[in-house]
Amino acid sequence: MASRWPASAELALAGGFLALAWGLSVGVMAAVMQGTRWDKLASLVTGLGVSVPEFWLGLILILIFFSTLKIAPAPIGRLPAEIVAPPTVTGLYTVDALFAGDWGAFFGAWGQLALPALTLAFVGGAPIARISRAAMREALDSQYVRFARALGVGRVSVILRYALPSALLPVTTMMALLCGYLMGGDVLVEYVFAWPGLGNYAVDSIGASDYAPVMAVVELSAISYLLIYVLLDLAHMVIDPRTRA
Amino acid sequence: MATAPATNSLRFLVAVGNRLRVRVGYGAIVIGILILLSAVAPLISKDPLHIDSTATLVPPSWAHPFGTDQNGMDIFARVLYAARLDLGEALAAATLAVLIGVPLGALGALAAGWGDQALLRITESVQSFPTLLLAMGVVAAIGPGLGKLVLVIAAVNIPVYVRLTRSAVLPMRDMEFIQAARCAGLGNIAIVTRHLIPNIAHLIAAQFSINCAWAIQILAALSFIGLGVALPTPEWGAMVRAGADYTVYGQWWVALFPGLAIVITVLSLNELADSFRRHTSR
């Protein structure tokens, strides 16, 4: 399992960052432009994001970018077939290749990572966008934001300095949920892209009717879930003054 | 207050129904159409299990609107028949979860003793597992089978109802109409069925329809990784799995249509849930 953990971590990091980036920015934009055409478009896209099965979205991306447009590499794991893995430093090929100065491996690893990370990000970012839109909406309607506006604080400043910080609180919770989920390796995305991570390990073992690894992966993600929740509660004590009694 | 049980349950249903007026949005319409289509599937499509070895992997055409798969089975027919299985399974699992979770949560909130605490701890420990992984682990342990799948998917969703009901009932517990009911001599169970559940029915309905969406996603995901329904039974996730390898080689129709069916169904169920919830905020 130790050898597969970096693969899952690499995918989780890339997918998680992308998910946060698009989820948060779309959510905030939709809240600011509430009721406009863009807001409706955003709610349609996030609606799709929470409804689409990851494994199917992955297949469709493969179909478009690999089979049809031929700009993505074959979905065969973390590196193209002809490239040797860089010497291990962090276990993340995208970083290790940089340390080794191996540009072939560097671009190869990023190329392989692109589609699975995008799949993960689209599905993971949709609930983040929904939560941040709702939280941002609430913050923008609040008394103190109206007060700041009345004082003549600029529009951008109101959004970024007054409304956004309090809206971030529920977003951290959602992000923690996503992290907890990603820690165990995303079973479905890893399977579709033949990504040699924890999730795929579990699926392979199911195929071989060897259920001990499945249990191990389930246990591991439950434990990381709990750990992340503890960290989240501690973090909220720092971020949210109301919880400091 | 010695009314016959039949009138009692009738009164319960009327009380619940009164509070569930939904604005019919596109979610309800699409789900309606899907149920209708799957009901008349034998009239408008071929046999979903008929193997035609002379017509394997045929692209979509008039004879096969969605094409055929590697065994020559008609994908249009299979997508329609799969709707029966997927929707039926989702309804069964969600209903089971509601029937167990809601009364437990309501009684827990009313009793507010060690039973309530024990209930909370149990739901917390179940919820500390990611839903899909938990379902995976359990199915891997007890083996596949449609009945078992319904039970597992229901079981992983019961905690959601327990907590939802509990948190909705808690603020209502000390309200005057509940106290009045208590003064009138009603027991806990009568208060739950006659006064509490009708007042939170819209929340439960919203959760129910989200739950159906989850159930479909979980079943499809389990089938996709080979733990759920196996070929040749028509099921959307299993059909995507069957088409996965061909998609890479450009034969897109095998996996595209069943996946699209999942997206449309789940999207509509989520929309339906939103329309239940919007009803409350007004």
| Cα separation, A136 vs A47, whole angstroms | 18
Q: Using alpha carbons, select from A10, A23, A24, A3 the residue that is nearest to residue A183.
A: A10
pLDDT at B239 over 80: yes
Under the banding of pLDDT at 50, 70 and 90, the label for residue B279 is: low
DSSP class per residue in B206-234: HHHHHHHHHHHHHHHHHHHTTSSPPTTS-
Q: Is B217 on the interface with A (CB under 8 A)?
A: yes
φ, ψ of residue A206 in degrees (nearest 5) = -60, -45
Q: What is the mean pLDDT of residues A184-194?
A: 78
Q: Is the CB of A192 inside 8 Å of chain B's CB atoms?
A: yes
SS3 A90: coil
Taking residues A146-161, report their average pLDDT.
Answer: 80
| Cβ neighbours of residue A178 closer than 8 Å, sequence gap 6 or more | A16, A19, A124, A127, A128
Paired with B68 in beta bridges are: B74
pLDDT digits (tens, 9 = 90+) for B198-215: 777 878 888 888 888 888
| A207-226 residue pLDDT tens | 777 778 877 887 877 787 77
DSSP assignments along A97-126, one per residue: HHHHT-HHHHHHHHHHHHHHHHHHHHHHHH
Residue of chain B whose Cα is closest to the Cα of A43: B271
The helix-helix angle for A164-183 and A5-32 (nearest 10°) equals: 150
Q: Which domains does chain B have, with CATH numbers?
A: 81-281 (1.10.3720.10)
Find the closest chain A residue to B252 by CA distance: A63
A68 and B CB contact within 8 Å: yes
Cα separation of A126 and A51, whole Å? 9
- Which residues from A are below 8 Å from B245, CB to CB? none
Residue B111 belongs to what H/E stretch? Answer: helix B75-111
Scan for tokens 């078992």, then name that residue.
B148
Q: What is the pTM of this model?
A: 0.82
As for the ipTM of the complex, it is 0.79
In this predicted structure, what is the pLDDT of residue B2?
A: 47
Average pLDDT over residues B243-252: 76
Any A CB within 8 A of B159 CB: no
* Contacts with B274 (C-beta within 8 Å, 6 or more apart), sequence order: B25, B27, B206
- In whole angstroms, what is the distance from residue A171 CA to residue A177 CA? 10
Best B30, B133, B249 member to test A by mutation, with max A CBs in 10 Å, is B133
Task: Report the pLDDT value the prediction gives residue B24, as an integer from 0 to 100.
Answer: 61
The percentage of residues in chain B with a pLDDT greater than 90, rounded to a whole number, is 1
The reply to whether residue A211 touches residue B248, judged by beta carbons under 8 angstroms, is no
Distance CA B37, CA B16 (A): 29
The percentage of chain A sitting over the pLDDT mark of 90, rounded to a whole number, equals 0
Mean pLDDT of chain A: 79
Q: What is the C-alpha to C-alpha distance for residues A113 and B94, in angstroms, rounded to an integer?
A: 37
Is the CB of residue A180 less than 8 Å away from at least one CB of chain B? yes
Q: Is B146 buried (19+), middle (13-18) or exposed (0-12) by CB count in 10 A?
A: middle
Q: What's the pLDDT score for residue A2?
A: 65
- pLDDT of B57-85, one tens digit each? 667 777 777 777 777 777 788 888 888 88
Q: How far is A194 from chain B (nearest CA, A)?
A: 12
Residue A241: asked if its preceding bond is cis (omega within 30°), the reply is: no
Q: Given B213, B240, B267, which is nearest A55 (Cβ)?
A: B240
State residue B1's pLDDT score. 43
| The pLDDT of residue B219 | 87
Q: What is the pLDDT of residues A80-112, one digit of tens each?
A: 666 666 666 666 777 777 777 777 777 777 878
* pLDDT tens digits along B4-48: 556 667 777 776 666 666 556 777 788 888 888 887 777 777 777
Q: Do B225 and A187 touch (CB under 8 A)?
A: yes
Strand (E) or helix (H) holding B7: helix B5-18
B259 in contact with A at a CB cutoff of 8 Å? yes
Residues of chain B contacting A218 with CB distance shorter than 8 Å: 129, 133-134, 136-137
Give the whole-angstrom CA distance, residue B179 versus residue B166.
Answer: 18
Classified as helix, coil or strand, B201 is: helix
Inter-chain touch B247–A63, beta carbons under 8 Å: yes
Averaged over A47-68, what is the pLDDT? 83
Q: Of A43, A50, A59, which to mutate for an interface test with B (greatest number of B Cβ within 10 Å)?
A: A59
pLDDT(B3) > 60: no
Instruction: Please check whether residue B196 touches A, CB under 8 A.
Output: no
DSSP conformational letter for A243:
G
* Cβ-based contacts of B137 with chain A (< 8 Å): 214-215, 218
Q: What six digits make up the tokens of B74?
A: 């008609």
Calculate mean pLDDT across residues A229-233.
Answer: 81
> What residues of A are in contact with residue B224 (Cβ under 8 Å)?
53, 55, 188, 191
User: By the CB < 8 Å criterion, does B219 face chain A?
Assistant: no
Report the pLDDT value the prediction gives residue B282, as an integer from 0 to 100. 41
Whether the CB of B126 is below 8 Å from some CB of chain A: the reply is no
What is the rounded CA–CA span in Å between residue B172 and residue B12? 18
CA distance to partner chain B, nearest, from residue A66 (Å):
7
Nearest CA in chain A to B141: A211
Q: For residue B177, is pLDDT > 60?
A: yes
Q: Are A199 and A186 in contact (CB under 8 A)?
A: yes
Residue A144 pLDDT: 83
Mean pLDDT, all residues of chain B: 78
Q: Do B136 and A214 touch (CB under 8 A)?
A: yes
Residues of B in Cβ contact (< 8 Å) with A181:
130
